[in-house]
Amino acid sequence: MGPNARKSHPLSVSEARRERERAELTERIMDAAREMFVRDGYEAVTLRKIALAVEYSPAAIYQYFKDKQSLVRAIIRRDSDDLRTHLRAGLNREAPVEQLVEMARLYAEWGIAHPNHYRLMVVPPPAWVEQDRELNRSDPTPLEQEILAMLWMVVKGAIERGALREKYTDPALVAATLWAGIHGAVLLEINAPPENRARLGGADTPFEARFATLREVFLDGFLREGARDGTAAG
């Protein structure tokens, strides 16, 4: 029997339970940390305060994260990987225009479902940015660049198929414009108080209606006549 044979054995019931409990507590720690970073500010939050928030021993939390910086790095990696995976599902659509619309929908869906994740990701505190830079040194493609690269690729395909109006020849410009629009819609949804949203289309207007309007503005503004729903102009 080789030296690694023991590692291939399935986990016992007790080991599986411990692994599950550890994963669940890790998620609780991360969720509490995100909420506290957004609410109280990065500098004011300590591992001890996070431990108390999840009703865990301040000393024992160091079994999960050795310091606040390692917790931040873990959150950045988790959220970036989660959003990447979510967005790639949009690439399963056949036509580039369908891919763009679906990726925009998935991006908004993720941001609204994870408001604290999204706030920290797109408007991070300065100390958080430094942790992000450290990760980027080992990650050749930061999340923001990867999202724009994905959009650029899909927009380029739409241009090559003749789906966009002739004046739109720069896929980077179109991709950045689309991202700016959906990013603004997400921030409005998760940050703006009802009275501000009331001035911008109704406090009770569901996000689905806002997204549908954004979709129509994009399609009407960029697509050639007859190129709706992913079909190229003749």
Instruction: Provide the residue ranges of all domains of the chain, joining segments of one domain with +.
Output: 14-66, 79-227
User: Which amino acid is present at 101?
Assistant: V
Specify the CATH class of 79-227 in words. mainly alpha
Does the pLDDT value for residue 152 go beyond 90? Answer: yes
Q: For the segment 113-138, what is each residue's pLDDT rounded down to a tens digit?
A: 999 999 888 877 777 777 666 666 66
Q: For the segment 205-224, what is each residue's pLDDT rounded down to a tens digit?
A: 788 888 998 999 999 999 98
Where does the pLDDT of residue 230 fall: very low under 50, low under 70, confident under 90, or very high at 90 and above?
very low
**pTM exceeds 0.85, yes or no:** no
Token look-up 């009331």 returns 198
Average pLDDT rounded to a whole number, residues 195-210: 72
Mean pLDDT of the chain: 84
User: Which amino acid is present at 7?
Assistant: K
Q: For the segment 62-121, what is each residue's pLDDT rounded down to a tens digit?
A: 999 999 888 988 898 899 889 989 998 888 888 899 999 999 999 999 999 999 999 888
Superfamily grouping for domain 14-66: Homeodomain-like (1.10.10.60)
